[in-house]
Structure 1
Amino acid sequence: MLKDMFDRNSSLSFEVFPPKKDDEFENCYKVLDSLSTLNPDFISVTYGAGGSRSKKTVEIASYIQNNLKIDAMAHMTCVGSTEDDILEVTNDLANVGVNHVLALRGDKPRDMSDEQFEKRIFPHATDLIRFLNTHTNLDVSASCYPEKHPEAISMDSDLAFMKMKQDMGAKMFISQLFFDNADFYRFIERADKSGITVPVVAGIMPITSAKQIGSTVTLAGSSVPKSLADICAKYGDSPEDMRKAGIEFAVNQIKDLRKCGMAHIHIYCMNKPKMTKEICTAII
């Protein structure tokens, strides 16, 4: 997957998440069927807090890999996991032919005490990456943060951790969402100077409702430029207009990234195939 994708000038991939309720899985597969018609290079599948939905992640990744014949990337978090927990999931992935993971620390689960958090087996994503590359044959990718990780003390510190991820064996990075391409361009320049040599894929999240600014975006630690804030203020009370304006904003982001030679794009599509198709059609 990696070699083929980065041998070309551009790529397009999507992120989906497992539904919280088992009876919603039929619709999830319909979403995947629809997304598959857009011919993405790969589709990634998120992981529940502390690995709480790991079996569902494996199940969906298997469907992508084996039924849709599209490369699947399974997210894997380690914040609440033991070594045996990780190996159980990697064995499940190997059994269904999924050989690529996105290695993440993950957020602290709500039921984890502060003491348990401080004594966790895998303190950082770098520890998970090292473990996976030592004990499995998986291809491992990692995340990066154009505006630094919310817990990082500085951008230089965060870039040092990014370099450690690469040194531990990460073969590519997928960026956290961002809304000002200038932030991403500055980040790439600093990453280059920090010794990052593996590919970096730009993560784009379309904002189709104003409430996203107060939830997903805030948790990600991404800043909101005035241009996007103005869109939310103007169209926030008109769902359809907000949706159209948000899609247009994402399309313009992607077009500018491609124009500037950064054309490997990962869309956080929020399990919305119609929206994703509109974006893909507009950027052709």
Structure 2
Amino acid sequence: MTVLTIPQMDEARRALAEPLFADLAGDMAVSFEFFPPKSDKMDAQLWEAVEMLAPLGPRFVSVTYGAGGSTRERTHATVARLQRETPIAAAAHLTCVEASREEIDQVAHEYWAAGVRHIVALRGDMPTPGARFAPHPGGYENAADLVAGLRKLHPFELSVAAYPERHPDSACDDSDLDNLKRKIDAGANRAITQFFFSPDVYFRFRDRAAAAGITAEIVPGILPVMSVAQVRRFAGQCGAAIPDWMDRLFEGLDDRPAARQLVAATIAAELCRRLYAGGVREFHFYTLNRAELAYAICHMLGLRPQAVARAEAA
């Protein structure tokens, strides 16, 4: 059980006694995740999202890497453009799947040459859905091995994944936590969690991580839900639980996108507010290349645009 400090208890009382989002200080750090676009239309949507979110002054924005490295070129192009054309620090996802150490190291060298200083180091998923991970014969064995390898190449800032509800491939909670500790001990700067929908899930995980000797920051990953069916697909890959009440809240909204967006923003904002009440000040948003929900949630938490963060000031 998380033991709240006196300031946190005061904050918890305020969260109950006043309007949830009244006069919040905006004293939080945010980051956003995008995926590389597959078409001209999706490319335009991505850069519209970047333009909207950049003024919030994110610590970094990350770009995903498809299963089996399937989006390698598009990921690299997107990250390089972010680094080149915006004032935002760009972070590139990099995985161990179906590539030798030499191939992965070459990608890392190319990122460094492009000015990218942050990598999200992941084990990755096999290109065949549901297939168990198998290391490349000449590749990195897992994410901890990848972190150690990247540490030898350049002084990257390194983020890794954490699983508050356990990765599906882990035998038990303790082995999952041991894997996270190996990644941190190998040189990762922080862990970013997969999405979850109960603040207690995060707080219990944070406490267990601290008890295991993990001192690096563990940033909660927030996924605003626009489609329960889509989230169920994601959840099957990362072990997240979908609460029954979510189905009921979205029931009947399939043909009402505006209402669905309002419900999605409310759910995610309340989750963030409860995490904030428990002392959390760092959030990572899985945007799915849509800026509106993440922007609205940040606004409700008191974060406001910063003129210096606009691309034209670069």
Q: Which amino acid aligns with 1:188?
A: R
Q: Following superposition of structure 1 onto structure 2, how do residues 98-109 of structure 1 map, counting pairs within 5 Å?
A: 98-109=116-127
- The answer to which of 187-196 and 207-216 deviates more is 207-216
Ranges in structure 1 where 5+ consecutive residues have no aligned partner: 1-7
**How far does residue 254 in structure 1 lie from its aligned partner after superposition?**
0.6
Q: Which amino acid aligns with 1:51?
A: G
- Choose the corresponding residue for 1:63, options 75, 81, 94: 81
Pairing 1:260–2:268 present: no
- Choose the corresponding residue for 1:167, options 176, 181, 185: 185
Aligned counterparts of 2:165 and 2:56: Cα–Cα separation in 1: 30
**How far does residue 123 in structure 1 lie from its aligned partner after superposition?**
2.4
CA offsets per residue over residues 65-117 of structure 1, 9 Å max, x none? Answer: 23111111111111111112112211211111111101001101139998965
- The answer to which of 126-135 and 147-156 deviates more is 126-135
Aligned counterparts of 2:226 and 2:47: Cα–Cα separation in 1: 22
Pairing 1:123–2:137 present: no
> Relative contact order, CA 8 A, sep 6+: which one is greater?
2
Q: Which amino acid aligns with 2:128?
A: R
Pairing 1:279–2:297 present: yes
Please tell me whether Structure 1 or Structure 2 has the larger radius of gyration of its CA atoms. 2
Q: Following superposition of structure 1 onto structure 2, how do residues 70-81 of structure 1 map, counting pairs within 5 Å?
A: 70-81=88-99
Q: Which residue matches 1:205?
A: 223
Aligned counterparts of 2:170 and 2:140: Cα–Cα separation in 1: 17
TM-score normalised to structure 2 length:
0.81
Q: Which residue matches 1:229?
A: 247
SS in 2 for 1:215: helix
Q: Which amino acid aligns with 1:213?
A: V
Aligned counterparts of 1:133 and 1:65: Cα–Cα separation in 2: 21
**How far does residue 208 in structure 1 lie from its aligned partner after superposition?**
1.5
Q: Which amino acid aligns with 1:30?
A: E
Moved over 3 A (4+): 21-24, 111-120, 233-239
Ranges in structure 2 where 5+ consecutive residues have no aligned partner: 1-25, 303-314
- Contact kept in structure 2, 1:18 and 1:60, CA below 8 Å: yes
- Choose the corresponding residue for 1:40, options 36, 39, 58: 58
Q: Which residue matches 1:190?
A: 208
- Contact kept in structure 1, 2:232 and 2:242, CA below 8 Å: no
- Choose the corresponding residue for 2:199, options 174, 181, 194: 181
- Contact kept in structure 2, 1:108 and 1:117, CA below 8 Å: no
- Contact kept in structure 1, 2:34 and 2:288, CA below 8 Å: yes
- Contact kept in structure 2, 1:79 and 1:123, CA below 8 Å: no
**How far does residue 9 in structure 1 lie from its aligned partner after superposition?**
5.8
- The answer to which of 230-239 and 146-155 deviates more is 230-239
- Contact kept in structure 1, 2:163 and 2:238, CA below 8 Å: no
Change (3 A) 1:218 1:74: same
Q: Which amino acid aligns with 2:284?
A: H
SS in 1 for 2:56: coil
